[in-house]
Structure 1
């Protein structure tokens, strides 16, 4: 939610939103979403969700450092944290009223709608931000596959 003044949109005073994900890796699309969300909300927490069903390439604390390093120092209203458990439980614990999610495709929207309905029943609203078209094609899965292919590729300068 924003209020409009003669200078444009400004975040509602005291608003706190949580942007959860595994962020494995943290992509330019994730960073762009944080950049846009941080001007809508007074504060935003980028929450690295620890999910036992997923096998991340790095521990949550390592990923949290990488996410923090991707944020400009001037983004003082952005915090990075880790959490094991339901995102809604984290939101309630921290006093956040909104979960921010990015949507790249209609398939994403269908999945996110189901999550949003559950989160609303638990007392937390969801706000979706569409991915910018130039960033929509890159998911964390694609980024991991590319990184893996690059590391498996033989060096062009190898002395054989």
Structure 2
């Protein structure tokens, strides 16, 4: 199945892109990046990275299920997978030639540039997509803090 947008964007034929992240949680900004990437590439894998150095709020299988639930069933060219290890190793294993990364601000780009240079040396290109301005303020960190505040003890009234 080939995805097309209402603007007539046709994906690069035979392309497979990987969009990695811990997705803890999967935010509207993440979903927007998947929506945009799926019209640029024939297939997109949302890769839930399992990083033992991070302490996610849920196990990988639960987070992957949440990501699957957030993705439209009509997006037949998008799949969700999990992986422990280097994203480039996953890309080589699956035959993906592109890693998709979102960038919210200039500081993100500086860090992403270093990762992209390493990925390129390993044979995988990186494509950066800027976050839409209306979604840039919501990071996974902010979403976790908000969720924690909502489920935490109530604040006594003064």
TM-score normalised per structure 1: 0.91
Structure 2 unpaired stretches of 5+: 1-6
2:146 maps to which residue?
A: 146
Cα deviation digits, residues 55-113 of structure 1 (max 9, x gap): 00000011000000001110000000000000000000000000000000111101101
State how 1:126-145 maps to structure 2 within 5 Å: 126-145=126-145
How far apart are 1:12 and its partner, in Å?
Answer: 1.5
Post-superposition CA distance 1:20-55 (Å, at most 9, x none):
000000000000000000000000000000001100
Q: Which residue of 2 aligns with 1:109?
A: 109
Gaps of 5+ in 1: 1-6
RMSD: 1.3
For residues 39 and 124 of structure 1, what CA distance do their matches in structure 2 show?
19
Give the Cα–Cα distance (whole angstroms) in 2 for the partners of residues 32 and 98 of structure 1: 18
Cα distance, 1:153 vs. partner?
Answer: 4.4
Aligned partner of 1:41 in structure 2 is 41
Shift of 1:144: 0.3
CA-to-partner distance for each residue in 1:88-145, whole Å, 9 max, x for gaps?
A: 0000000000000000011110110110000001110000000000000110001000
Is 1:27 matched up with 2:27?
Answer: yes
Larger radius of gyration: 1
* 1:69 and 2:69 are equivalent in the alignment: yes
Larger strand fraction of residues:
1
Structure 1 stretches of 4+ with a deviation exceeding 4 A read none
**DSSP 3-state at the match of 2:135:** coil
Could you tell me how far apart the structure 2 residues matched to 1:107 and 1:51 are? 22
